[in-house]
């Protein structure tokens, strides 16, 4: 089920794995309530995988399980496994903090820290100590460039991140994630709070970033999933109903529930 990982060379010359995420029979509970049922899905390197489905069907729960954010909530448990580059993310030797550095997360609403633009991007590398302070300006600029934001903020790096527009704040959050040099980007409805122009910029950025990252995006926007993703999984009441190439899912779904959701008959 797991594909051989590819590699990329970062602008700093470091060779890094860009690996596969693969869930196998993954189940999840909030207390006594089961939210996910036997999810088996693979997100391939250098591709965008979209997760679609009605609200409350488990998409975000699964996304947040990939880098173990869900375990921070009380009275939760799981069964089954999620592997990253062939290694279980739940292994005893896996450091959750390092895992979240390697598997970055961008949330539904932009959440810049109450710090300067520069300090927002530098936050992760400073916390991990992965970049010397003298090299921080280069890391910040590179991350902002990769998030298609540098030209808009290069003369105002000391301004608060919260002073930016909504779309700029979301790209700042993407830059903050990229500053940790992750291999995977998880995006939980990254455009839901944005206007159409900002949404277009984020979508264009997602397509550009897949050349260097594995990307998994949760979206309720069917057109967005069709535009940006290579693979699509349809979730319904905690089950993965169907998964395949995006073109196949949208033009020739195999399950009638997928067809009903995509054509707007429910959801």
Q: Are 185 and 212 in contact (CB under 8 A)?
A: no
pLDDT per residue as tens, the chain (267 positions): 333 345 555 445 544 445 789 999 999 999 999 999 999 999 999 999 999 999 999 999 999 999 999 999 999 999 999 999 989 999 999 999 999 999 999 999 999 999 999 999 999 999 989 999 999 999 999 999 999 999 999 999 999 999 999 999 999 999 999 999 999 999 999 999 899 999 999 999 999 999 999 999 999 999 999 999 999 999 999 999 999 999 999 999 999 999 999 998 877
The reply to whether 1 falls in a domain is no
CATH classification of the domain holding 16: 3.40.50.300
Q: Report pLDDT for 232.
A: 98
The reply to whether 86 falls in a domain is yes
Q: Report pLDDT for 265.
A: 87
Q: Report pLDDT for 20.
A: 85
Q: Report pLDDT for 7.
A: 56
The CA distance from 231 to 27, in Å, is 21
Q: Is 98 exposed, middle or buried (0-12, 13-18, 19+ CB in 10 A)?
A: exposed
The reply to whether 30 falls in a domain is yes
The reply to whether 267 falls in a domain is no
What is the count of structural domains for the chain?
1
Q: Report pLDDT for 16.
A: 47
Q: 214: domain range?
A: 6-262
Q: Report pLDDT for 127.
A: 92
The reply to whether 141 falls in a domain is yes
Task: Count Cβ neighbours within 10 Å for each residue of 48-75 and write b for 16 or more, e otherwise.
Answer: bbbbbbeeebbbbbbbbbbbbbbeeeee
Task: Count Cβ neighbours within 10 Å for each residue of 237-261 and write b for 16 or more, e otherwise.
Answer: ebbbbbbbebeebbeebeeebbbeb
């Amino acid at each position: 089920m797991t594909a051989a990982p590819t590699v990329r060379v970062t602008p700093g010359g470091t060779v890094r794995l860009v690996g596969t995420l693969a869930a196998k029979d993954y189940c999840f509970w909030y207390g006594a309530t089961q939210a996910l049922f036997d999810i088996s899905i693979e997100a391939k390197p250098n591709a965008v995988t979209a997760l679609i489905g009605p609200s409350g069907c488990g998409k975000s729960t699964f996304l947040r399980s990939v880098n173990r954010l869900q375990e921070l909530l009380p009275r939760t448990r799981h069964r089954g496994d999620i592997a990253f580059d062939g290694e279980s993310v739940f292994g005893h030797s896996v450091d959750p903090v390092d895992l979240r550095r390697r598997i970055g997360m961008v949330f539904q609403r932009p959440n810049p820290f109450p710090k300067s633009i520069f300090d927002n991007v530098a936050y992760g590398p400073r916390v991990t100590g992965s970049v010397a302070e003298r090299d921080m300006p280069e890391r910040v600029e590179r991350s902002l460039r990769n998030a298609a934001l540098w030209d808009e903020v290069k003369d105002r790096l000391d301004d608060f991140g919260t002073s930016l527009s909504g779309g700029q704040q979301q790209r700042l959050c993407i830059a903050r994630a990229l500053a940790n040099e992750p291999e995977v980007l998880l995006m939980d409805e990254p455009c839901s709070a944005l206007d159409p122009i900002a949404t277009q910029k984020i979508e264009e950025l997602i397509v550009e970033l897949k050349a260097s990252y594995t990307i998994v995006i949760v979206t309720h926007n069917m057109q967005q999933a069709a535009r940006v993703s290579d693979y699509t999984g349809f979730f319904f009441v905690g089950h993965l109903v169907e998964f395949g190439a995006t073109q196949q899912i949208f033009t020739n779904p195999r399950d009638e529930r997928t067809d009903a959701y995509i054509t707007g008959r429910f959801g």
